[in-house]
């Protein structure tokens, strides 16, 4: 075996390091691609189920930041006269409407209300509905039965039903 | 030391003081006569430099009748104001006041709401910055900041600010309101943002007597600005110089 001086050892060490780096990159590439695919597909799959569009493609952001988003919307409307209908509490309760057994939408006084349900689960004690309306007044979905049976609303309810079924199936599969 | 040339005789002194006092008297009278005219015409004739709007109402009290409550009910309906059976604390954003001229016995009906003042006293006194003036001149309460101290209620010379005394249910989505916060007419800011008239002005035109004219006071071409310039429009408590956006025609205030 040839005697190896310090210079040679340094060279070998560097090569070894490069090799290890390449192996690491090689191992992580497939998983990175799959993660990227998952990141692309998951939100769009979710947003497809959302009715009448949503401000965010990523529900995780909305779950964490909806308070800030709503406050921003309020400030823009109240102070800067830049009112937008897509970041209001009315918008939240329009899409995330929950109904009782008689298909009547439930208000925040009911534990089944979308916002109340999650806030109760996570012990969040801010209650927007002491001041804000917990039901959308202008939305066709909460109007009387004749209006609620309109085609657009039927499609809306069907879509929602389908989404909940899929979610249930997904939960069962897990 | 006074130069002999510039020495003023006693007679000249008395003449000057007489002139000065006469001038003072004339200036005082002029100010008295001109003050309302200056306040009323200077505003709308000039557009805002920044191009901002200033929404206002011109109420013709000669058209407003005593039996009509179109604006009141429209306001309550639009903003979800419900009576709770206790008149002293029931929410009202508009109240109709009858002014009787003792000399002639003529009765004028004056609907009074938040006057959306240019120099709003409620904004001046608010300790938290909740009471504020929007970019387009509408005076609002930021209920997220309001602590319910009621300084604004006391400061408003028009008694236009109210307080929510009891818990509210089934609010209108466009008009959030809850117990413990100051509130007042918003000039239906949510409707204005959508390009609509305030509910009271719309109801007055449809169901009432068309006494309310809504528009942009900063736009010299708007109907309200033209009307105010041509016929005038009195300000409630003009002596306080709060520069209100709600003007009244047909009544001597």
- List pLDDT tens digits, range B185-243: 999 999 999 899 999 999 999 998 999 999 999 999 999 999 999 888 889 999 999 99
Of A80, A88, A131, the CB nearest to B178: A131
pLDDT band at A4 (very low <50, low <70, confident <90, very high): low
The C-alpha of A130 sits at a distance from chain B's nearest C-alpha, in angstroms, of: 6
CA dihedral B159, B164, B165, B170 (to 10 degrees): 140
pLDDT at A66: 82
Q: Round the average pLDDT of chain B to a whole number and report it.
A: 84
pLDDT at A28 over 50: yes
pLDDT at A125: 84
Most confident of A106-110, B41-45, B181-185: B181-185
The C-alpha of A158 sits at a distance from chain B's nearest C-alpha, in angstroms, of: 25
Contact residues, chain A, for B170 at CB < 8 Å? 107, 133, 135
The C-alpha of B109 sits at a distance from chain A's nearest C-alpha, in angstroms, of: 31
Q: Give how far the C-alpha of residue A16 lies from the chain's centroid of Cα atoms, to the nearest Å.
A: 44
Q: Which of B46-50, B51-55, B73-77, B196-200 has the lowest mean pLDDT?
A: B46-50
Of B132, B169, B179, the CB nearest to A79: B132
Contact residues, chain B, for A127 at CB < 8 Å? none
pTM over 0.95: no
Whether residue B149 contacts residue B192, with contact meaning beta carbons closer than 8 Å, is answered with no
Of A83, A133, A138, the CB nearest to B171: A133
Is A79–B134 a contact, with Cβ atoms under 8 angstroms apart? Answer: yes
Distance CA A75, CA A98 (A): 28
Q: Which chain A residue shows the shortest CA-CA distance from B171?
A: A133
Is B172–A137 a contact, with Cβ atoms under 8 angstroms apart? Answer: yes
Is A132–B171 a contact, with Cβ atoms under 8 angstroms apart? Answer: yes
Of A79, A107, A133, the CB nearest to B172: A133
Beta bridge partners of B108: B99
Quick count: other Cβ atoms within 10 Å of Cβ B9? 8
Of A162 and B70, the structure prediction assigns the larger pLDDT to: B70
Q: Round the average pLDDT of chain A to a whole number and report it.
A: 69
Q: Note whether A89 contacts B: Cβ–Cβ < 8 A.
A: yes
Helices (H) then strands (E): counts for chain B: 7, 9
Q: Give how far the C-alpha of residue B223 lies from the chain's centroid of Cα atoms, to the nearest Å.
A: 18
**Interface contacts A/B by beta carbons within 8 Å:** 57
Percent of chain A with pLDDT over 90: 9
pLDDT at A135: 86
pLDDT at B29: 39
Of B167 and B11, the structure prediction assigns the larger pLDDT to: B167
For A44-113, what is the HEC assignment? HHHHHHCCCCCCCCCHHHHHHHHHHHHHHHHHHHHHHCCCCHHHCHHHHHHHCCCECCCCCECCCCCCCC
pLDDT at B131 over 90: yes
pLDDT band at A49 (very low <50, low <70, confident <90, very high): very low
Whether residue B81 contacts residue B91, with contact meaning beta carbons closer than 8 Å, is answered with yes
Q: Note whether B193 contacts A: Cβ–Cβ < 8 A.
A: yes
């Amino acid at each position: 075996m040839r005697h190896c001086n310090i210079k040679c050892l340094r060279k070998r060490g560097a090569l070894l390091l490069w090799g290890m780096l390449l192996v690491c990159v090689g191992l992580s590439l497939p998983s990175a691609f799959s993660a990227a695919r998952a990141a692309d597909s998951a939100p769009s799959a979710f947003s497809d189920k959302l009715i009448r569009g949503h401000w965010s493609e990523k529900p995780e952001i909305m779950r964490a930041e909806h308070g800030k988003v709503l406050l921003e919307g309020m400030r823009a409307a109240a102070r800067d006269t830049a009112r937008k209908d897509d970041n209001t509490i009315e918008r939240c309760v329009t899409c995330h409407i929950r109904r009782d057994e008689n298909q009547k939408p439930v208000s925040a006084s009911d534990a089944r209300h979308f916002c109340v349900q999650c806030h109760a689960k996570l012990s969040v004690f801010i209650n927007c509905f002491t001041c804000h309306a917990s039901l959308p007044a202008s939305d066709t979905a909460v109007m009387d039965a004749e209006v609620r049976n309109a085609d657009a609303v039927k499609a809306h309810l069907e879509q929602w039903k389908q989404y909940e079924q899929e979610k249930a199936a997904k939960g069962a599969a897990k | 030391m006074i130069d002999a040339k510039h020495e003023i005789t006693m007679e000249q002194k008395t003449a000057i003081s007489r002139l000065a006092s006469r001038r003072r008297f004339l200036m005082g009278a002029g100010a008295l006569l001109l003050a309302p005219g200056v306040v009323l015409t200077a505003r709308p004739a000039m557009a805002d430099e920044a191009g901002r709007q200033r929404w206002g109402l011109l109420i013709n009290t000669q058209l407003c009748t005593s039996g009509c409550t179109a604006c009141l009910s429209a306001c309550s309906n639009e903003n979800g104001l419900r009576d709770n059976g206790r008149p002293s604390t029931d929410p009202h954003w508009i109240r109709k006041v009858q002014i009787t001229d003792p000399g002639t016995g003529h009765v004028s009906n004056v609907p009074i709401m938040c006057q959306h003042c240019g120099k709003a006293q409620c904004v001046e006194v608010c300790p938290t910055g909740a009471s504020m003036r929007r970019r387009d001149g509408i005076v609002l309460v930021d209920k997220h900041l309001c602590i319910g101290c009621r300084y604004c209620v006391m400061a408003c010379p028009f008694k236009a600010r109210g307080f929510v005394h009891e818990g509210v249910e089934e609010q209108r989505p466009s008009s959030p309101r809850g117990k413990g916060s100051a509130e007042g007419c918003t000039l239906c800011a949510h409707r204005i943002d959508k390009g609509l008239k305030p509910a009271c002005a719309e109801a007055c035109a449809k169901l009432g007597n068309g006494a309310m004219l809504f528009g942009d006071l900063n736009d010299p071409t708007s109907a309200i600005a033209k009307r105010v310039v041509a016929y005038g429009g009195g300000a409630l408590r003009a002596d306080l110089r709060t520069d209100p956006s709600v003007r009244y025609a047909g009544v001597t205030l």
